Amino acid sequence: MTMQFFDITGMTCSHCAQSVAHALNRVAGVQGASVDYEQRTASVRGTADVAALIAAVAKAGYTLTPRALAAAADAPRAGACCDGQQPAAPATQIAIIGSGSAAFAAAIRAVEAGATVTIIEAGTVGGTCVNVGCVPSKIFISAAHIAHTQAAHPFAGIERHRPVLNRAAQLAQQQQRVEELRFAKYEHIVQTNPAITLMHGRARFIDAGTLAVMQTPKDGKDQEPPTEIRLTPDKILIATGRSPKIPDIAGLAGTPYWTSTEALASQVLPQHLVVLGASVVALELAQAFLRLGSRVTLIARSTLLSHDEPALGEALAAVLAAEGMTLLMQTQVLTVQYALNEFVLETTQGTLKGDRLLVATGRTPNTPLLDLARAGVAVDQTGAVVVDERLQTTAPHIYAAGDCTNAPQYVYVAAAAGTRAAINMTGGDARLDLSRVPAVVFTDPQVATVGLTPAQAQNLKIDADSRKLMLEHVPRALANFDTTGFIQLVAERASGQLLGAQILASGAGEMIQIATLAIKNRMTVAELAEQLFPYLTMGEGIKLCAQTFTKDVSQLSCCAG
């Protein structure tokens, strides 16, 4: 494999550089091309014919001139550098399949370590979080919270009213912010980092050391047959994420159901939204649509948040029911039909009808099309890539990070995994510690957890003690006229060391990191109870809960130390 250098004329903006890079990367034999707009130069890695490269760029409207003489003059002689020393080892070449948070965290860290990186993306750059997950959903949820607050706030003397909603305008603002963040945090990084090349295409393994990439046009307008390019990088990172999992329900596949992607992109609000699912995505979107004026019925196979502390799901169910949501617990959907703009669901609790159906029953790894068996990469029963604490797969030079693996499905876990995978792919030794992973459900009130629940501690045969503080004992909650929820702390009985926390409260997501850091630093509840917490804050509730292990907080003054 060789590196070729060129001058480019005709470029007038950074978008031109993207067009040239796109044209170069489509040429057979190119294993990676980068374009520097400021320098008006291109570097091409691979075995492509120079004439083919020049022709491809000319077709795009630019002129490509080889820099053979300059490259030769700048290149060190074989066996020695210009100062007589031995030349540096060639840069590690890394291919990353996917372009989400794990992929970009890895790419940035790998380049910092001197590697060159090719990112391969079959769809939209940026992955789930920025495009169809965290960012648009939190914008949507925040808008719904504002609408609900106007109609149902608790303060006397301020008139409540149902706001006039313009979903199309709201969606336009939402998508504009998505596009801004995608450019700033993903596309701009590729444009400004010559060591990172973005290749549009779908990758699969030929063997453990070879990737075949069926290239696709970035804009989807190119009608030429797609070109397959083969890469033989030194290291490979699989970071392909997950997609919505669709349950096998009779009749469902032939209907225009929504996943979270379609729900967040809809310009209209349903009259009656039926939601299948009872975990994070289902609950967040169900409450948001309810607060924006839709009638909502949620169907749960068991209970809400069934994998968490039972009290959390029970209390959240009461809140949602009080807001007007219909909750069908312990309910199975038998069949789904769609006709005349209406869904008809036959369930174990009878017939249910709605104009929209949101399926939010989990996500499945994007691994089936990768031909992982050819590379010797093992997956678990769900299709998730099996990795160790170094993010290494069963193939020594292949790593994986993010939601496609068997790690917790959180974007901050994905980014941390990508960074550590990059360290290990470039000669370092980093581990991903998943012993303390905080989690947040962005309902209102929010649900936030970290560490062990009382039941989990018991299953591990840990002699633990726990205390639950209702928010009516937290001064800030009283000042907010919002005392719905509780704080629960779990500690080892003998030592008092904090083992876990479960919080249902407005702002629980901001509070949980206090407990996370306390667990990490092996603090006891006694030490936590002695800390100085600002008054009035919701975080002070964690201190008050810690005090309940030894005191009756109802008998303390409002800011007792």
pLDDT digits (tens, 9 = 90+) for 172-183: 999 999 999 999
Same domain, 197 and 96: yes
Query: Is residue 404 among the annotated active site residues?
Result: no
Distance CA 269, CA 246 (A): 22
Indicate if 558 belongs to the active site.
yes
Of the segments 3-17, 22-36, 110-124, which one has the largest average pLDDT value? Answer: 110-124
Tokens of 500: 């876990």
Q: Is a pLDDT exceeding 50 seen at residue 113?
A: yes
The answer to which of 11-20, 307-316, 431-440, 443-452 has the lowest mean pLDDT is 11-20
Strand 295-299 to strand 272-276: parallel, antiparallel, or no bridges (unpaired)?
Answer: parallel
Tell me which DSSP letter residue 321 carries. Answer: H
CATH number, domain containing residue 278:
3.50.50.60
Question: Residue 130 falls within a domain, yes or no?
Answer: yes
CB 487 within 8 A of CB 510: no
Instruction: Choose, from 37, 62, 186, 257, the residue flagged as catalytic.
Output: 62
538 labelled catalytic: no
Predicted pLDDT of residue 13: 72
CA distance 345 to 336: 5
Nearest to 4 by CA among 86, 88, 64: 64
Q: Which of 393, 412, 434 is the last residue of a domain?
A: 434
Query: Distance between CA 456 and CA 433 in Å, rounded?
Result: 19
Are 260 and 333 in the same domain?
yes
CB contact at 8 A, 29 and 53: no
CA-wise closest residue to 440 among 141, 181, 100 = 141
Of 37, 129, 410, 425, the catalytic one is 129
Please identify, among 12, 40, 75, the residue that sits at the C-terminal boundary of a domain.
Answer: 75
pTM: 0.84
Comparing C-alpha atoms, which of 264, 239, 265, 191 is closest to residue 391?
239
* Cα-based distances in Å from 10 to 62, 191, 388: 5, 17, 49
Checking if the pLDDT of 67 tops 80, the result is no
- 179 contact partners, CB below 8 Å, separation of at least 6: none
138 has pLDDT over 50: yes
Confidence class for position 243, pLDDT limits 50, 70, 90: very high
Query: 241 lies in which domain range?
Result: 90-245+363-434
| Residue 80 maps to a domain | no
User: Are residues 266 and 138 part of one domain?
Assistant: no
Same domain for 368 and 354? no
Does 84 reside within a domain?
no
Q: Are residues 241 and 259 in the same domain?
A: no
Report the domain count for the chain: 4
Asked if residue 163 belongs to a domain, the reply is: yes
343 with 376, same domain: the answer is no
Smallest Cα–Cα separation from 411: which of 131, 85, 21, 6? 131
| Burial 312-341, CB ≥16 within 10 A → b, else e | bbebbbebbeeeebebbbebebeebebeee
Residues 1 and 14 in one domain: yes
Q: At which of 43, 75, 107 does a domain end?
A: 75
Point out the catalytic residue in the list 16, 511, 523, 545: 16
CA triple 189-190-195, angle to 5 deg: 110
Q: Is 278 inside any structural domain?
A: yes
CATH number, domain of 508, equals 3.30.390.30
DSSP state of 122: S
Q: Is 11 a catalytic residue?
A: yes
Same domain flag for 444 and 336: no
The pLDDT of 17-44, averaged and rounded, is 83
**Is 560 within a domain?**
no
Give, as one character, the DSSP assignment of residue 145: H
Task: Assess whether 13 carries a catalytic annotation.
Answer: yes
User: What value does the mean pLDDT take over residues 353-376?
Assistant: 98
DSSP 471: G
Q: Is residue 186 annotated as a catalytic residue, yes or no?
A: no
Residue 559 placed within a domain: no
Is residue 216 domain-shared with residue 290, that is, in the same domain? no
Task: Say if residue 353 is in the same domain as residue 374.
Answer: no
Q: Which of 3, 81, 214, 559 is catalytic?
A: 559
Residues whose CB falls within 8 Å of the CB of residue 523, separated by 6 or more in sequence, listed in order: 497, 498
Residue 83, domain member (yes or no)? no
Indicate if 410 belongs to the active site: no
Q: Which of the 8 DSSP states describes residue 187?
A: I
pLDDT at 5: 81
> Per residue in 181-230, pLDDT tens?
999 999 999 999 999 999 999 999 999 999 999 987 665 555 567 789 99
CB 190 within 8 A of CB 292: no
Contacts of 275-278 with CB under 8 Å at 24 or more apart are: 275/299, 275/357, 275/358, 275/360, 276/247, 276/333, 276/357, 276/358, 276/359, 276/360, 276/361, 277/358, 277/359, 277/360, 277/361, 277/362, 278/302, 278/303, 278/304, 278/305, 278/306, 278/313
Q: Which of 134, 329, 412, 470 is catalytic?
A: 134
Say whether 16 is catalytic.
yes
Q: Do 316 and 417 belong together in one domain?
A: no
**Do 296 and 401 belong to one domain?**
no
Tell me what pLDDT residue 59 has: 82
